Amino acid sequence: MKNLNLYLIRHGQTEWNTKDQMQGSQNSPLTENGILGAKITGRFLKDIPFIAAYSSPQQRAVETRDYILSEHNGAVPAKTIDGLREMDFGLWEGQPVPELRKLPEFLDYMHNPDKFDGAKNQGENYLEVLERMQKSLDEIVRDTEQDSGNILIVSHGTALRLLLSVINGVHWHNHRDDNYFPRMLNTSISKVNYRGDGVHGEYHLEYFNNVDHITE
């Protein structure tokens, strides 16, 4: 049986994050604070004996992963998995969030996930994102040859919030309710433990959205 600890981290702060622009399938560069946050996260995790590191293929996630690993004590094999990418927001990409808040469909995205229809903005739906995120996690644990160990995973705010809330037993309809799961913070750490045979098993959320390493 496998016993794996998954450290799931949101990428570092980007320029679009600071400008409150919608960022999903498109990318903007990490800011100086974003790079610093990734390095601080790396120093915080430097003594965790990671056996593998993964990220989405999007530049901000790959760079965050590599900055974290640059501070690590020892070499860690790193890969990208397409399913870990951020939700595709279609026509909303790069648009100012205050302007988007005027759209009824954007308010559904924010507050009524069960009513949100990604086709209206030519993007993804929540269930599409959840399915590929779950498959990515399953792929990681299935392909890990070791029976125990720690794995680093760098992904994105909306995708991680959705995945982790469901792992913790919250219905995906409610995952954007701050009473359950607040907004994911840049370079926050969430830890999930997996126990199973690699095909059948259970995920347990140990902690979520922790930024003590950044605020200390």
pLDDT number for residue 135: 98
> From the first residue on, what is the mean pLDDT of each consecutive set of 10 residues in the chain (216 residues)?
98 98 97 98 97 98 98 94 98 97 96 96 98 98 97 98 96 91 95 96 97 86
For residue 62, give the amino acid letter.
V
pLDDT number for residue 178: 87
CATH: 3.40.50.12780, 3.20.20.370, 3.40.50.1240, 2.40.400.10. Which one for 2-215? 3.40.50.1240
**Rg (the chain; Cα; Å):** 17
pLDDT number for residue 216: 62
Place of tokens 């790396």: 42
φ, ψ for residue 4 (rounded to 5)?
-120, 140
Distances in Å between the Cα of 104 and the Cα atoms of 76, 100, 160, 169 are: 45, 9, 24, 28
Distances in Å between the Cα of 143 and the Cα atoms of 38, 82, 107 are: 26, 15, 39
